[in-house]
A and B are shown apart, each in its own frame.
Chain A
Amino acid sequence: MSDNNIVLRVEDIHKSFGNNEVLRGISFGVRRGETKVFIGPSGTGKSTLLRCINQLTIPDRGSVWLDGEEVTNSGARINYFRQKIGMVFQNYYLFDHLTALKNVELALLKVRGMSRSEAREKALTELRQVGLEDWADHYPAELSGGQAQRVSIARALAMDPDVILFDEPTSALDPELTREVLEVMKKLALQGMTMLVVTHEMGFACSVATEILFMENGVVAEQGTPNLLMHDPKFTRMKNFIGQFDSYRGD
């Protein structure tokens, strides 16, 4: 792993909420163009980890580095890093009072300082990328969950981020809507976008992930390519976890 390929480095992140230590020292590096997928039982700190990366949650210990610059303890410069680290949330969090187009435009206008026409063009390009150009003038309440999530992906893409964090992007969606969102994410991965994805979608993880990190009790319990984790007999934890899924689903 040559070091100058590493775009995001996470070192020894710890985080507690009260007496509950959610993250107990997480470290990893992400190369440009990589898709890292985090899976594991609920409550093992996967979402907290993503939020620590863009400092929406401040970790107790450890550091995050983007392109060799420290994101943790960066003061007001955090707003620069947050442009470079996009985030997509489970519940979309679209701005309720703005149309799809304006949702994507807002940060371009206010944070990047683009002109109206520049921002509009950029926003339309990103909406086209997620297949929603025709829905540009609709408000969030008029969109399906899948469409809303695709708008929020377009909103993150518009900032030209170095990496996008996906926090359970399909957990609020039914299987059909899940598919349309995953297809967009897959396309992004193939285009070379660097992505960190927290998900329970094993099919997506196995087909798209460069590496799967199985988290349990605040640590990375197993780590490797999908092929390795699924087939190497050395790894058992994740297979057990998926096995529970499968018997629950009845197949």
Chain B
Amino acid sequence: MDQIAFIFDILLPALMQGLVITLKLIVWSAPFGLALGIGVAAGRQYGGPVLSRVCKTFVFLIKGTPLLLLLFILYFGLPSIGITFTALTASVIGFILCNGAYNSEYIRGALLSIKDGQMIAAQALGMTRAQAIRNVIMPQALRRAIPGLSNEFIYLIKYSSLAYMITVVELSGVGKNVATKYFIYTETFMVVGIVYLALVTITTVAVNILEKRVAVPGMNRAAAAQL
């Protein structure tokens, strides 16, 4: 069979279906992963001893074990204690937990970089600590965390392929199925790779635009150098 015809008539239409699943995984995971990351970082940094310990343990567990293991537990393990998720839901939950744990570390690093005076000034105006964190500390910390967070988002795009291991036929899964059906491995996986590259490129461009739009004069090194 002609290679061009294979790619355009068979491979790409199939990959589009897989891409839709991959995008679903990402779009459902990323916002909650970010929210979880913010919550865990704030809890660890500003929470009481108990909350702080809980957040630390959560990050320790997620960082210390393979994501694949987490997915297996969520999908294959939990039904034995009566909790059943669809494969897609189990994947999204796994990705949120993983993404959230790593995001929290980037955000925590950014929180540590915010000068004490910001909190002191906010409190001196009558803000509670929670108000100060929400309105003064977090907006600054999140800006500083953008490079790290975008890195983690890009990881998410790629480790979304692990969902295939618990039967979610996403982009990589579709590639694998097509490749084994037609015995065309190299070309198939190269095209799959190009689709991932495209996703990551779009993300990188989008992050650059976002970073410029939320930039504040003097708040990062590049801008400070220009002054």
- Cβ of A96 and Cβ of B140 under 8 Å apart? yes
- Cβ of B117 and Cβ of A141 under 8 Å apart? no
- Cβ of B127 and Cβ of A111 under 8 Å apart? yes
- Cβ of B218 and Cβ of A111 under 8 Å apart? no
- Cβ of A96 and Cβ of B118 under 8 Å apart? yes
- Looking at chain B's contact residues, the main secondary structure is helix
Instruction: Type the 1/0 row for B115-144, where 1 means its CB is closer than 8 Å to any CB of A.
Output: 001101111111110010001100110010
Give the docked Cα–Cα distance between A121 and B197 (Å): 50
- Cβ of B127 and Cβ of A110 under 8 Å apart? yes
- Given contacts A139-B216, A141-B224, A142-B218, whether A107 and B118 have CB atoms under 8 Å apart is no
Give the docked Cα–Cα distance between A9 and B123 (Å): 21
Contacts of A95 in B (CB 8 A): 118, 121-122, 136, 140
- Cβ of A82 and Cβ of B125 under 8 Å apart? yes
Contacts of A139 in B (CB 8 A): 216-219
- Cβ of B136 and Cβ of A82 under 8 Å apart? no
Contacts of A86 in B (CB 8 A): 124-125
- Cβ of B217 and Cβ of A111 under 8 Å apart? no
What is the interface size of chain A, counting residues whose CB is below 8 A from a CB of the partner? 29
Instruction: Type the 1/0 row for B193-227, where 1 means its CB is closer than 8 Å to any CB of A.
Output: 00000000000000000000000111100011001
Contacts of B135 in A (CB 8 A): 106, 110
Interface of B toward A, CB cutoff 8 Å:
117-118, 120-128, 131, 135-136, 139-140, 143, 216-219, 223-224, 227
Q: A111-B125, A141-B219 are in contact. List 7 more A-B contacts (CB 8 A).
A: A56-B123, A76-B128, A83-B125, A97-B143, A106-B136, A141-B227, A159-B125
